[in-house]
Amino acid sequence: MVVTNTRQFTFSVLDVQSYLQGVVPREMPASWGDLGGGRGQQALRAQAVAARSFALSLPNRTSGATTCDTTDCQVYGGAGIFLGGNGTPGIGTGTAREDARTNAAVNGTNGWVMRMPNGAIARTEYSASTGGHSAPGGPFTPVVDLGDSITNNPNHSWTVTFSNAELQQALGVGPINGIRVLDRNGVGADGGRVAQLEITSGGVPRTMTGPQFRTAVGTVRLRSDWFAVVNEGTLNDIVDGAGVPACDATGLPQTFRDKPPGTTFHCHVEWLHAQGIATGWPDGTFRPATSIERQAMAAFLYRMAGSPAFTPPVSPSYSDVSRSHPFFLEIEWLNASGVSTGWDDGTFRPVASIERQAMAAFLYRMADSPTFTPPTNPSFTDVPRSHPFFLEIEWLNASGISTGWNDGTFRPGALVERQAMAAFLFRAANLGFL
């Protein structure tokens, strides 16, 4: 114990191995060691190496300690907890906090650390579930997490619903008119984790960072800051309004485990599946709130057209879509049909997400670019006559496929979610445009 003029510090002095035996089971369930016939022990060993490297890479704290026992550093749980019996020494109960499996992982990697190219011990961080992609900001380049998308991982694809009242209470605002993501960190699907979003209440917008929003609504329910937003029942673009074909959900099954009956777009998603346009992922999910990628859009539109006979060119039209690409045929068909001709640099950017303005252009061209005279006065405050997709967006509005938001905007640069695309295609088909 050290006492200064203003503070008292209590130190626990122990060797690295003993310290890690109290840390590793707090950072990863020891039960993982039994998974895969014991192969899960390798995960515990990786965690032990990461924990050791992290601890040894830290500079001494102002107190003189090497590390601390909270989430600011690493959570050290100790060897166990002893509950004394009314202050009588030696009487009471104890609970061990170490585990033989994590102890074996620590001892089996004794002395092992990760090092940077210059030889310094790396400040490593190890995640049980990244959501599919490691985050930027650390010492390592963010990468795709190939082991994250497994059927028994509840933290890869998930859905949570908040009522308007719940959000009002959490955010300290009145009735919410809409929530939209303004910026992402650019790493991973959908553009990555939410960097900034806008909450509109009473017509007044308010911005927050993704982490701030997650903290406000609760980190247990909102599992990470990597999410997409669906405004249930508050925006014209996600409900069937006047002149828009209704989708009858009566008796429809639940094909995808993440799109149950009663949720917005369930009917449209089931229609898309029944038409053979979308089959979802092998894990039984549709990932409705995920932004639709350009390659998936190519596949959807090709199938909407009846999967016509088409012989793709011998030489690929795009530098980033080789003949071995899983959607090579569909993308080449999209190019040949004139629906999308890619970028001026010769790329198609297959994994880029589709924006609403591009969706409008794609559907207009799929409808054979019908003769249409747009109104003199723009229908949307954010799509002036000078907008490059003014005609296509006005056609989309006039056709009833998409009528924009209640605040008078179209939000042309906003990304299109897979479930919303299902609704747009359903409307286009039932209105006779596709």
Residues 157, 155: Cα–Cα separation, whole Å: 6
Residue 287, SS3? coil
Residue whose token pair is 């300690």: 65
Which residues touch 344 (CB under 8 Å, ≥6 apart)?
Answer: none
Identify the top-confidence range among 198-202, 236-240, 372-376: 372-376
Residue 239 is predicted with a pLDDT of 41
Q: How many separate helices (H) and strands (E) can be counted in the chain?
A: 11, 7
CA distance linking residue 148 with residue 154, whole number of Å: 10
DSSP H helical ranges for 154-265? 164-171, 210-217
pTM, 2 dp: 0.51
Domain residue spans of the chain? 2-108
pLDDT tens-digit map of 161-190: 888 888 889 999 888 777 877 777 777 766
Q: What is the pLDDT of residue 165?
A: 85
pLDDT tens, residue by residue, 144-164: 887 787 777 877 778 888 888
Burial class (CB in 10 A: 0-12, 13-18, 19+), 224: middle
200: region left, alpha or beta (phi > 0 left; psi from -120 to 50 alpha): beta
Whole-number average pLDDT of the chain: 83
Q: What is the pLDDT of residues 389-429, one digit of tens each?
A: 999 999 998 988 887 777 788 889 888 888 889 989 999 99
Provide the pLDDT for residue 138: 66
79: number of Cβ within 10 Å: 13
Mean per-residue pLDDT, 353-376: 93
Lowest mean pLDDT among 254-263, 290-299, 355-364: 254-263
What is the per-residue pLDDT across 288-308, written as a single tens digit (0 to 9) for each? 878 889 999 999 999 999 999
Q: Name the pLDDT band for 237 (thresholds 50, 70, 90).
A: very low
